[in-house]
Structure 1
Amino acid sequence: MLTEQQVRQFHDEGYLFLPETFNDDEVAVLKSEAEAIYRQQRPEVWREKSGAPRTAFAAHLYNEAHGLLARHPRMIRPVEQLFGEPVYMHQYKINAKAAFTGDVWQWHQDYGTWARDDGMPEPRAMNIAIFLDEVMPINGPLMLVPRSHTLGVLAAEHDTATTSYPLWTLDEATVTKLVEAGGIVAPTGKAGGLLMFHGNLVHGSAGNITPYPRKIVYLTLNAVSNYIRKPTRPEWIAHTDFAPIVPTDEGALTRYAQRFRQAAE
């Protein structure tokens, strides 16, 4: 559970970083399974224009390790604490940011997409980012504009040309004003770190031209009362199973990871 200071920081700044939340065994199996998923040819796996993997949607529905992560109490309970009610999985994806070829994610707000494309009533859905690789200042870390979540939904344009992934993006003038007021932070740290941030927090990331990949699992946990009303995207992008998540026990993912490691030895 979050401390009072952590809750205050989240509400004030719009984000909270919890380093090394998941252990080495857990990260190793999640990373290995993510790499196996990227090699699959299936509609949930999207690729950069170069052919490198960009993101894999809904991995929790077809991979056991990621299914366990999706129900892990280390992230479910803090979000329930902040929202004051149960949550369901609105979206699950593994973003690759491959070495040398990982493309940008333009400046945007996630709730803008959830509202426009999915009919989500309010920004009561939490973004969770779990580092599967070390995230460094040089390999395309997620950049956040602190306190930008307090400004509501900003005007955006639907960019379908810059990358292989269509996104509701903010213009340069808007981002410049926001950054002049709030600055930019880029949380970095070892694999296993957990970053949570508000659905209206403005964020983006640069391309990765280093030899160091930057895989991150992104989950969107939505308050059950805030279920989407007018979904327009495929089920594996915006889920319509609104059942509350029942968390696993604390050690479920660790036990699975240990069995996975033993089988590989």
Structure 2
Amino acid sequence: MTVIDTKTEDRYPTRTSYGLELIERTDPTVWSNGCHDGPIDPATLASHDTKGYSIYEGLLSPAEVQAYWQELERLTNDESLKADERVIVEKSSNQVRSVFEVHKISELIAELVSDPRVLDRARQILGSEVYVHQSRVNYMPGFKGKGFYWHSDFETWHAEDGMPAPRAVSASIALTDNYPFNGGLMVMPGSQRTFVPCQGETPEDHYKASLKEQEFGVPNEDDITKLVAEHGIDQFTGPAGSTLFFDSNIMHGSGNNITPFPRSNIFVVFNSVENTLVEPFAAPTARPTFIGARDFTPVTR
């Protein structure tokens, strides 16, 4: 693969043909330093800084959850979307797995992205105005829902989208109850402080396969074992309407859902307007903009 001159210092090298050592992160997790007001109280913000994530139960009311669930059902059954590249189906069952750029498809979800309960938390954590790097709805049906192996989102966004630093935060808004047994998201608290380089050069159009099952940008078992020994594993559980904000570099994954209980969520990635994308650091070309946006217009209420 040809090395790409991004004209931006690469402080987080990855996707090499040889193994690299773990890299201690020098960027903060919480960027506001108390100067960017928001709804997160100081104790919760300090906990987020330490763990790399924070949970807000009841962020959405039961009535709002029902409205968004109905919107997900509408999107799933919309025949006009079936052939859209933004709709990703399960590799084995051909069932809808994700719908990307959903805030541009659904007016209702666009309103949620700019809702102060969501937007102001992202601004407070990142200490700046923010734009949507990626949005999607995720479906994990009962019995057949497939999980995702351990990974850092920032590793992919850095390598394949050209995100310079881990100054991004994801909001996962639960539209179904999250139990310990229906494929809930697992995170390693504190692991956001360590960047894990991955071995293996990125193929052309890697996104087409990785959105269904990721093979490149996956840490090796020895590195996962080291992180677990140091940080342990927490799991996002809670009733529908709960929201998880988690750092772009935290190591996370999910198991398969073999229970009858589906798990669905709205997922929004906010990136700082001071951390806009450059050329990919470890891929031949940038991924499509419905996966990694290059419109850096700040989200407003």
Task: Say yes or no: TM over 0.5.
Answer: yes
Q: What code does the residue aligned with 2:266 have?
A: V
The answer on 1:234 being equivalent to 2:288 is yes
Distance 1:162 1:64 in 2: 28
Cα gap change, 1:229 to 1:61, in 2 (>3 Å) = same
Distance 1:132 1:168 in 2: 28
- Pick aligned residue for 1:80 from 117, 120, 123: 123
Distance 1:230 1:242 in 2: 15
Q: What is the deviation of 1:30? A: 1.0
- Pick aligned residue for 1:52 from 92, 95, 108: 95
CA contact (8 A) 2:148 2:253 kept: yes
- Larger relative helix fraction: 1
CA contact (8 A) 2:196 2:223 kept: no
Distance 1:189 1:93 in 2: 20
Structure 2 residues without counterparts, runs of 5 or longer: 1-38, 281-285
Distance 2:211 2:255 in 1: 12
Q: What code does the residue aligned with 1:218 have?
A: F
Partner of 1:183: 232
Q: What code does the residue aligned with 2:171 have?
A: I
Distance 1:148 1:44 in 2: 30
TM-score of the pair, normalised by structure 1 = 0.89
Q: Deviations over 1:144-164 (max 9, x none)?
A: 001101112433556977882
Aligned length: 247
Q: Deviations over 1:131-181 (max 9, x none)?
A: 010010110000000110111243355697788243621122211111111
Partner of 2:12: none
Give 3-state SS (helix, strand or coil) of 1:60's partner: helix
Q: What is the deviation of 1:32? A: 1.1
Q: Write the mapping of 1:130-149 to structure 2, written as runs, cut at 5 A.
A: 130-149=173-192
Distance 2:199 2:223 in 1: 10
- Pick aligned residue for 1:71 from 102, 114, 119: 114
Give 3-state SS (helix, strand or coil) of 2:172's partner: strand
TM-score of the pair, normalised by structure 2 = 0.78
Partner of 1:215: 264
Distance 1:14 1:164 in 2: 26
Q: Write the mapping of 1:161-172 to structure 2, written as runs, cut at 5 A.
A: 164-166=212-214, 168-172=217-221
Distance 2:212 2:275 in 1: 29
Q: What is the deviation of 1:64? A: 1.3
Distance 2:199 2:246 in 1: 19
CA contact (8 A) 1:132 1:214 kept: yes
CA contact (8 A) 2:76 2:96 kept: yes
Q: What is the deviation of 1:108? A: 0.1
Partner of 2:42: 4
CA contact (8 A) 1:147 1:182 kept: yes
CA contact (8 A) 1:145 1:183 kept: yes
CA contact (8 A) 1:52 1:101 kept: no
CA contact (8 A) 2:166 2:248 kept: yes
The answer on 1:27 being equivalent to 2:65 is yes
Q: What is the deviation of 1:230? A: 2.0
Aligned-pair identity in percent equals: 33
- Pick aligned residue for 2:299 from 245, 255, 261: 245
Distance 1:169 1:47 in 2: 21
Give 3-state SS (helix, strand or coil) of 2:140's partner: coil
Q: What is the deviation of 1:234? A: 1.1
Structure 1 residues without counterparts, runs of 5 or longer: 248-265
Distance 1:180 1:84 in 2: 31
Distance 2:168 2:101 in 1: 17
